[in-house]
Structures are given as C-alpha cells and as structure tokens.
Structure 1
Amino acid sequence: MLLDTPICDFGWKGPDFTLKDAHGNSFTMSDHLGENGLLIAFVCNHCPYVQAIGHRLAEDAAMLKSEGINVLAVMSNDYRKVPSDGPEFMPQFAAKHGWTFPYLIDEDQSVGKSYDAVCTPDFFGFNKNGELHYRGRLDDAGMGDASSRERELVNAMLQIARTGEGPREQTPSMGCSIKWSD
C-alpha cells in the first residue's frame, strides 16, 4: 500500500531508543545526535522505493556526515510477514547500496510506533537538540532519473545544522506501508 508521510511536527522530541544491528551491536539514538543533528530513516530491504533511492541515500548520508550530521536507519517491518526484510539480509542490502551508517532492527516495532513511522522510506531530521525539523522526502527524483535531482533532505538538514530549524515547506516522503505485526 502506497502512503505519504504526515506533515512535520516541528520541535517534537524523538523518543530515545537502543536497537541492535544484524551483528548484535547496540546503537542508542541519543549517543548518535551529531554536533549538527541526526537523520533517522525508516527503511527496509524489499520496498521498491527504498531500493530506488538506496545509492542516493548513501551519497547524501556521506555528505551529511561530513557536515556533523549522523544517520541511523531503522527497519521496523515484521519480517516474519516479509522474510526478505529479515536481519540475515540486512547487511547485504546495506553493502549493495553503499550504506556506511548503522542499519538497525526494530524487532518489537516499538520505535516505529513511537515515531509514528508510516512508510519506507520515512525520514526524520533532528537538530542537535533532538528536535524534529524535517519529515519529507529524500529528493524530487522519486523512482525516476536522479541525474539532476533536487536534494531536499540534504538541503533541509544543512539548514537545520546552520539555524536549528528546518524549512517550513516540505514535500512528504512516499513509499510502501510499514508491515505491522497483528
């Protein structure tokens, strides 16, 4: 099911969490607030929207990292319903797309629910104080040609790094619904 993300709730404080990657390493959200902010991306392996932006997300994440903005990816899908999203496939998926940021398993889906994540990809851009200032799409290319894309997420995160606040005009991200357990 195709869904759009809701409008950004400016200033909302993202709940802290600790999740593990597929290798059992723990990562805590508050420990990853960069000197200029944090991007949390709710993604999964099987979604064609995530597959289409995978390499672009890697490029943009590297740029953000160079600007003191950290990135965490969270997989909240019930992988019992969608086995290709399982932890055993996550490292290969991340490597295939060049992801150098942690790709974390939200086993009980509590993080996805506490953030009201609705689709993959769903991007949450926080300032250095952990306040939400971006909830939009990666860029204007979608699943199409990205050769001359407008890097909306990068531009918003750089603005957040400079001013502490995101742009008031944001275009929702679009993707597959998160697969919640029954």
Structure 2
Amino acid sequence: MAVTPPICDFGWKAPGFTLPATDGVHYSLDDIRGPNGTLIMFICNHCPYVQAILDRIVRDAAQLQEAGIGVAAISANDVADYPEDSFENMGKIAKDHGFSFPYLYDESQEVAKAFGAVCTPDFFGFDARDGLQYRGRLDASMRQAGPSDAKRELYEAMIGVARTGAGPREQIASMGCSIKWKSA
C-alpha cells in the first residue's frame, strides 16, 4: 500500500542519532552533516518505489555531496518480516550500486520514529543549521522510474538550500511503501 508523508515543516530541527553502517562504521548526524546542508533518506532494499529510483538516488547524492551537502540513507524496516531488508543485504545493495554515502541500519526504529518517517523513500533535506527545508519527492517517478528527463526536484531543492539556506515553498510529497514497523 502506497503511503505519502506530510509536507515540509520548515525549520524543524533534525534529531541526533548514531547508527551502524554497512561499511562497519557508526555514524552520527555530526559525522554526516555537510557545510551546506544534510540529506537523510529513509529507504529499504525491497520497496519497488526505491528500486525504481535507486540509480537516480545514487547519482543525485554524489552530486549533492560535491556541493557540500552531507548525505546518508537509513533503513528501519522490520527484518524479521522483511528479511530482504537485512543488514547483510543492505551491504550488498550499497556495494552493487556504488553508494557514495553511508547506508545506516535503524534496528530499534527509534531514529525513524524521531524523524517521523512514514515511507520508503522519505527524504529529509536540512539546511546548514539542521533546519528542515525539504520533505518532497526525488522526481515524478512512482513504482516505475519516471522519464529520464524528469525534473530533479530533490536535487534542485537541495542545491537551492546549499546556496540560499531555504527550500522551495512548493513541494510535492514523496510516495512509497510504508515503513514496516515491528509489532508491539
């Protein structure tokens, strides 16, 4: 079932965290933060919405890092019910797709809850002072990749944040699979 997150709550502060990554290192928000902003992406391995745009995510993340924006992806899905999202499989995805950013595992799901993440993909674009400036979609892609010339909404928004400190006032929410929460 497709889920849509709420639109940007401008200025909302990024919560701190420290999580293990597929490269064997633990990363905190301080480690990821870039001088011109930070992008935190909630993704997972099995979601068709993520699979459809994964190459675009990798492309845009690398270019945003070149612009001084720190980038990380977090998977928070319940791996007991979704074993394809396991930490081991996360490492394979990161390696196979050449992630230039850390792919973090939120086993407790506390970080996803602190962010208010609801789906994969769910993008959180922060300014240099950790204020939320973008909570929109990557581009017009859905369960299938959109046209190759689709407007790069996330990339353009974050370049604007890097230059001006402000995100676009008009944003279209991302859409994806719901985060697979653990049973109580």
TM-score band by shorter chain is: over 0.9
Contact 1:55 1:98 (8 Å CA) reproduced: no
Q: What is the 5 A alignment of 1:1-182?
A: 1-142=1-142, 143-182=144-183
Q: Say which SS state the counterpart of residue 157 (structure 1) adopts.
A: helix
Contact 1:71 1:102 (8 Å CA) reproduced: yes
TM-score where L is the length of structure 1? 0.97
Cα distance change, pair 66–156 in 1 and its aligned pair in 2 (3 A): same
Which runs of 5 or more residues in structure 2 are unaligned? none
How many residue pairs match? The answer is 182
* C-alpha deviation, 1:132, in angstroms: 0.4
Question: Once the two structures are superposed, what CA deviation does each residue of 1:85-115 show, in whole Å capped at 9, x if it has no partner?
Answer: 0001011112222311100000100000000
In the alignment, the residues of structure 1 paired with residue 94 and residue 3 of structure 2 have an alpha-carbon distance, to the nearest angstrom, of 23
Identity of aligned residues (%): 54
Contact 1:125 1:134 (8 Å CA) reproduced: yes
What letter matches 2:137 in structure 1? Answer: R
Question: Once the two structures are superposed, what CA deviation does each residue of 1:35-73 show, in whole Å capped at 9, x if it has no partner?
Answer: 100000000000001111110000000110110001100
Regions of 4+ moved over 4 Å: none
Contact 2:139 2:146 (8 Å CA) reproduced: no
Question: Once the two structures are superposed, what CA deviation does each residue of 1:127-176 show, in whole Å capped at 9, x if it has no partner?
Answer: 01011000000012332343111000010001111111100000000000
In the alignment, the residues of structure 2 paired with residue 97 and residue 54 of structure 1 have an alpha-carbon distance, to the nearest angstrom, of 8
In the alignment, the residues of structure 1 paired with residue 39 and residue 11 of structure 2 have an alpha-carbon distance, to the nearest angstrom, of 14
Cα distance change, pair 128–171 in 1 and its aligned pair in 2 (3 A): same
Which runs of 5 or more residues in structure 1 are unaligned? none
